[in-house]
Structure 1
Amino acid sequence: MAKILIVEDDKKIAQLEKDYLESSGYEADVIGDGTQVIPEVKKNSYDLILLDLMLPGLSGYDICRTIRDEIDIPILMVTARSEAADIIRGLGLGADDYITKPFDPSQLIARVRSHLKRYARLTSDRDTGSKNKENQDQIAVADLIIEPKTWRVWKNGREIKLPNREFKLLCFLAENPNLVFSKEQLFEKIWGYDYVSDAATVSVHINRLREKIEDDARNPQIIETIWGAGYRLNL
């Protein structure tokens, strides 16, 4: 049974989320104070976090940033804010998806189920290693060393921690260098048809990757934007 942490200070909304999750076969805990989230996540093993952005004590943005730096777990933002800037900021800090209030409970459950299913596949791939015989033990790109079978990335001898989707995106581009892929093609390859978001999330993940692997993320040399076409990894 998947265990989900609900981070929500509105007791009515938190109880609604908890009731629907439990009726769908999930176990759910609730926290309403932002300062309690990080210790709780480190202490207990959760499979997914439903994270409100506006919280007492510590904002959802700060929580998302801290969790993503230390723990690989799907984070679904649940927020009353629907402005594009707020959504992009949350995704840029490491959230996997978002849903705005008020929401359809059935849509919430569908998104939770989709993210749990997707992360289970990614984790299985990481633990078993790639079964594609064409994969190399190492791929060298500029000052990066990518190890597809061990799910590790090194830059100038220092290991870089990448969440599952960022690693798969980088690995796919590195295994297909000098080719241009549209956002739609990358979305289909990395996220799949059953994912509930859209291709715009590719840009967010590319930007996150650039912050970690480029010497200057504002002037990327490894992952290049081909305007009007998509992205290309230069080798």
Structure 2
Amino acid sequence: MSTILIVDDERDMVELLSDELTARGHRVLAAYDGERGIELAGSKPDLVILDVMMPGRDGFDVCRAIRDTVACPILFVSARQSENDRVKGFSMGGDDYIVKPFGLRELLARIEANLRREERARQNIGAGVGDKAAQPLLRWGNLELDLKGMSVTVCGKPVALTRKEYEIVELLALHAGQVFSREQIYERIWGWDAEGDSSTIVEHIKKIRAKLAAADLSGDYIQTVWGIGYKWKRGRR
């Protein structure tokens, strides 16, 4: 059973979606404003459905407030349809974005797809597949990547990466020197059936670089290969 947090000021929609998710065996937490949503996020849900346009603290603000402590997928729902809004949602740490009005079946399918991806990620970690089993700790300069703990430290201090940011770092680091296009990174991290936009990779890379640079000004771990994509630059120590 998964715990799903819904944060939306449209009570009818919340009640309808809650009934459907409960019937599918999920536990549902509901918040009708951003402040309450931030409080309930402390219960560590398995997925968050977050409306963008709410009075007071909007969905982008809520996502910013919880993203560093909530590792689960965040699915934005919004009447805003522009590419800028979608990119902003992804840059805030969202994992999916669905535009209102939408069909209930589509939203339920997106929810289940995100939960399946999370479950596959947990299974892969538990199985210790590939390089993770042989070398759980990898180092590049001042950076240490803990593959089992899914964490990154720089100069001995933890770097607060979101789940997707960590997964991008892990993908590039485990294939140091190999160039990945934005589309390849998006497909590997979000899955081939994801409905988002690979442009979110640019925002995620920007945030990863800023966090790593804040911890180590001398570090330069991700290199842009212009016109192609990105690669992990530093050699293993």
Both proteins in one fold, TM over 0.5:
yes
Q: How many residues align?
A: 231
Q: State the match for 1:137 in structure 2.
A: 136
Structure 2 CA distance for aligned equivalents of residues 34 and 3 of structure 1: 18
Structure 2 CA distance for aligned equivalents of residues 37 and 54 of structure 1: 14
Question: Deviations 1:111-139 (Å, cap 9, x if unpaired)?
Answer: 1001111112223334x263325752332
Q: State the match for 1:125 in structure 2.
A: 124
Which amino acid in 2 is paired with 1:232? K
Residues 105, 71 of structure 1: CA spacing in aligned structure 2 closer, same or farther, 3 A cutoff?
A: same
Deviation at 1:23, TM superposition (A): 4.1
Q: State the match for 1:31 in structure 2.
A: 31
Q: State the match for 1:108 in structure 2.
A: 107
Which segment drifts farther, 78-87 or 185-194? Answer: 185-194
**Could you say what secondary structure the match of 1:22 adopts?**
helix
Question: Deviations 1:4-48 (Å, cap 9, x if unpaired)?
Answer: 111111223223322333344433232112111122221x34221
**Could you say what secondary structure the match of 1:81 adopts?**
coil
Residues 198, 88 of structure 1: CA spacing in aligned structure 2 closer, same or farther, 3 A cutoff?
A: closer
Write out aligned runs for 1:11-30 (5 A). Answer: 11-30=11-30
Q: State the match for 1:74 in structure 2.
A: 73
TM-score (norm 2): 0.86
Asked if 1:152 corresponds to 2:178, the answer is no
Which amino acid in 2 is paired with 1:98? Y
Q: State the match for 1:194 in structure 2.
A: 193
Q: State the match for 1:91 in structure 2.
A: 90
Residues 172, 45 of structure 1: CA spacing in aligned structure 2 closer, same or farther, 3 A cutoff?
A: closer
Residues 213, 129 of structure 1: CA spacing in aligned structure 2 closer, same or farther, 3 A cutoff?
A: farther
Equivalent pair of 1:38/1:67 in contact (CA under 8 Å): yes
Displacement over 3 Å in runs of 4+: 22-25
Percentage identity across paired residues of the two chains: 35
Structure 1 CA distance for aligned equivalents of residues 66 and 120 of structure 2: 21
Give unpaired runs (5+ residues) of structure 2.
Answer: none
Which segment drifts farther, 91-100 or 51-60? Answer: 51-60
Determine which structure has greater relative contact order: mean sequence separation of CA pairs < 8 Å that are 6+ residues apart, divided by chain length.
Answer: 2
Q: State the match for 1:184 in structure 2.
A: 183
Structure 2 CA distance for aligned equivalents of residues 208 and 23 of structure 1: 38
Deviation at 1:160, TM superposition (A): 1.0
